[in-house]
DNA sequence: CGGTATTTTGAGTATCGTCAAGGCCAGTGG
DNA sequence: CCACTGGCCTTGACGATACTCAAAATACCG
């Protein structure tokens, strides 16, 4: 973690192009300009700490590329993942409210970092930015609820199925995490087994077994530990028991996409 | 559900006293006045539907008394609780963002209902109100994360312990849900067994067994199915495995409160 | 007091957690 | 270059836990 260049500057911080970031690109030009002036681009390598839980980092961040993970630090030193952040997502304790989690890079990632006081000042002056933040918060809350429903599945297989489907729907638009390979959906899992296990409330062995169990039933194919092909998304969806899928629309499109090719 | 008076008017709607509601009582007087003029008090009986998931209810609500539950409706008709709302909590799809859940009364409850367009207009003019909403959202998100951690506990006993502790810390300031009886904490569980079971990702039988298991170990005492005394909150806290408790401060105060009386 | 719904208990089975061992891969140092 | 180390993933065996099904007991309501 300290071996290469130190903490925050694997790359020299520069202004970043917010026009590229989903959500921000629709903001009025003048506001965008102003945001540009108070932001610095920062790059993080996989595993680097972006923001500590305890310390008041006084930074508001917007993910511009890659994936970050929110996690709560447990007193015993372990970390518990409570969510993932992708392009356009905002983190940081605005107005000192909530957000008592730390942030780590789940892949090589880039963020736009804002000085908190300046960001808050701008927030008070700009209804558009304020609204963006509010909506962001709301969808974050929605996603947390989706997580809860997945976690509430009594069977590991079901939880894992829900997890995979969540990755599909959430990361469909993002990056190179989801690709369509033939008539199956290729999903990259941006978490290590221990993290997945902890997130799903189980152990690594169970995750491994459940994953291979799904593979044995032909629903998925395991290409690498962190790369699986979904061959039968409908079966996977039924596996969750509760067809309460996040964003059924996107899922439906995916299904049609994969079903379009006969045989 | 339709047997008594119809949907929204068990009591004639009147203006409500926002000065009583936590969070709102600290708002500037002028703003409070303005809020008063666009709100209507509504009363709901236990089990009544406050807000449907699909329908754009065009209402922003603030809980003034009692407990509501947020829940997602599953296609198979069942409902999955994803959170509880108490005095001061805000619900409704502001700016049409997120919040795709329905709301039901978990007890007899009162809410202040705002007309959505008017509320949003006021929101744009008032930084204080906006900030209140944002902070509310953030703490809601935090709580969802707490739920996730509880749900991620591999053992039912642990999940149930976390659930009880969450009730303690969250409802400490609220209503008559938490009372101090002798040197133990009396907790009212505002959910039926099926709801608790579904929320914790298990079955009613397991909930019952886990509850009685905790009782056998002397950590709690079951007075009624929905009323338990916590006799040893520290043991209960350890039971969760992950001392990642929500709001350790309030918990600590509780512990001190119960520990103060020697025998 | 009876009827219904909810909660609890019981028995059997499936699932999952636990412990232990082995394979795979990357980084390290000889 | 290669053995070594450590982390991660997988597999196996066993015991504990939790789910399923069924029935009894309790609470709730008129």
Closest CA to B225 of B244, B241, B214, B212: B212
Q: What is the pLDDT of residue B243?
A: 56
CA-nearest of A196, A188, A185 to A235 is A185
Rounded mean pLDDT, B143-171: 93
Q: How far is the CA of B123 from the C1' of C17 (A)?
A: 51
DSSP B125: H
pLDDT, average across residues A180-205: 92
pLDDT at B187: 93
With beta carbons less than 8 A apart as the criterion, state whether B120 and B92 touch: no
Does residue B244 carry a pLDDT above 70?
Answer: no
Q: How many CB atoms lie within 10 A of CB B223?
A: 13
The candidate with the shortest Cα–Cα distance to B51, out of B115, B12, B8, is B8
Tell me, what's the pLDDT at B16?
Answer: 79
Kindly tell me the burial class for residue A197, based on how many C-beta atoms sit within 10 Å of its own C-beta (0-12, 13-18, 19 or more). Answer: buried
Cβ–Cβ of A98/B134 closer than 8 Å? no
Residues B83, B102 contacting (CB under 8 angstroms): no
Residue B150 reports pLDDT greater than 70: yes
Distance B262 CA to C24 C1' (A): 58
Q: How far apart are CA A136 and CA A23, in angstroms?
A: 9
Confidence check: pLDDT of A207 > 90: yes
A9 pLDDT tier (thresholds 50, 70, 90): very low
- Bridge partners of A113, per DSSP, are A40, A61
Q: Is B254 helix (H, G, I), strand (E, B) or coil?
A: helix
Give the pLDDT band (50/70/90) at residue B255.
low
Helix H or strand E encompassing A103: strand A102-105
List alpha helices for chain B, DSSP H: 29-37, 116-125, 127-151, 156-171, 193-199, 204-216, 233-239, 248-260
CB A210 within 8 A of CB A160: yes
Higher pLDDT, A250 or A102: A102
3-state secondary structure of B115: strand
Q: What is the CA radius of gyration of chain A?
A: 19
pLDDT at B230 > cutoff 70: yes
* Whether pLDDT at B2 is above 50: no
pTM as predicted: 0.87
Question: A76 CA, D14 C1': separation in Å?
Answer: 29
| Interface subset of B 203-242, CB within 8 angstroms of A | 203, 242
pLDDT top residue among A110 and B182: A110
Q: Tell me which residues of chain B, numbers 139 to 158, contact chain A at a CB-CB cutoff of 8 Å.
A: 139-142, 144-145, 147-149, 151-154
What pLDDT does residue B193 have?
94
Distance CA B151, CA A209 (A): 21
| A71-85, A99-113, A185-199: least confident range | A71-85
Does any CB of chain A come closer than 8 Å to the CB of residue B252? no
Q: Which helix (H) or strand (E) holds A200?
A: none
Residue listed under structure tokens 């780590």: A104
Q: Mean pLDDT for chain B?
A: 84
Interface test with B, best of A97, A135, A141 (most B CBs within 10 A): A141
Stretch A162-169: mean pLDDT: 92
pLDDT in the model for residue A247 = 54
Task: Provide the pLDDT for residue A262.
Answer: 53
Q: How confident is the model at residue B3 (pLDDT cuts 50, 70, 90)?
A: very low
The whole-number pLDDT of residue A257 equals: 64
**Cα separation of A114 and A6, whole Å?**
20
pLDDT band at A88 (very low <50, low <70, confident <90, very high): very high
Average pLDDT over residues A131-152: 92
Cβ contacts of A59 within 8 Å, gap of 6 or more: A51, A92, A113, A114, A115, A116
Quick one: what percent of chain A has pLDDT higher than 90?
Answer: 54
Residue B229: is its pLDDT beyond 50? yes
In tens, the pLDDT along B17-55 reads 888 898 898 899 999 999 999 999 999 998 888 988 776
Residues of chain A numbered 90-119 and touching chain B (CB < 8 Å): 93-95, 97-101
């Amino acid at each position: 973690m300290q071996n290469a260049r130190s903490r925050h500057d694997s790359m020299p911080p520069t202004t970043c192009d917010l026009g590229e970031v989903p959500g921000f690109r629709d903001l009025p030009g003048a506001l965008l300009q102003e945001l540009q002036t108070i932001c610095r681009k920062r790059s993080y390598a996989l595993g680097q700490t972006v923001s500590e839980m305890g310390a008041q980092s006084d930074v508001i961040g917007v993910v511009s590329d890659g994936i970050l993970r929110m996690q709560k630090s447990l007193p015993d030193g372990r970390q518990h993942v409570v969510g993932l952040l992708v392009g356009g997502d905002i983190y940081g304790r605005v107005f000192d409210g909530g957000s008592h989690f730390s942030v780590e890079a789940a892949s090589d990632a880039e963020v736009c970092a804002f000085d908190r006081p300046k960001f808050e000042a701008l927030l008070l002056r700009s209804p558009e930015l304020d609204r963006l933040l509010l909506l962001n918060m709301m969808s974050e809350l929605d996603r947390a609820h989706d997580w809860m429903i997945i976690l509430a599945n009594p069977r590991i297989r079901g939880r894992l199925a829900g997890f995979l489907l969540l990755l599909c729907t959430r990361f469909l638009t993002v990056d190179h995490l989801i690709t369509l390979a033939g008539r199956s959906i290729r999903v990259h899992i941006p978490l290590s087994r221990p993290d997945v296990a902890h997130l799903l409330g189980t152990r690594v062995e169970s995750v491994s077994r459940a994953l291979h169990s799904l593979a044995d039933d032909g629903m998925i194919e395991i290409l690498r530990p962190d790369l699986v092909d979904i061959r039968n998304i409908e079966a996977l969806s039924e596996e969750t028991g509760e067809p309460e899928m996040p964003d059924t629309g996107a899922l439906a499109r995916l299904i049609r996409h994969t079903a379009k090719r006969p045989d």
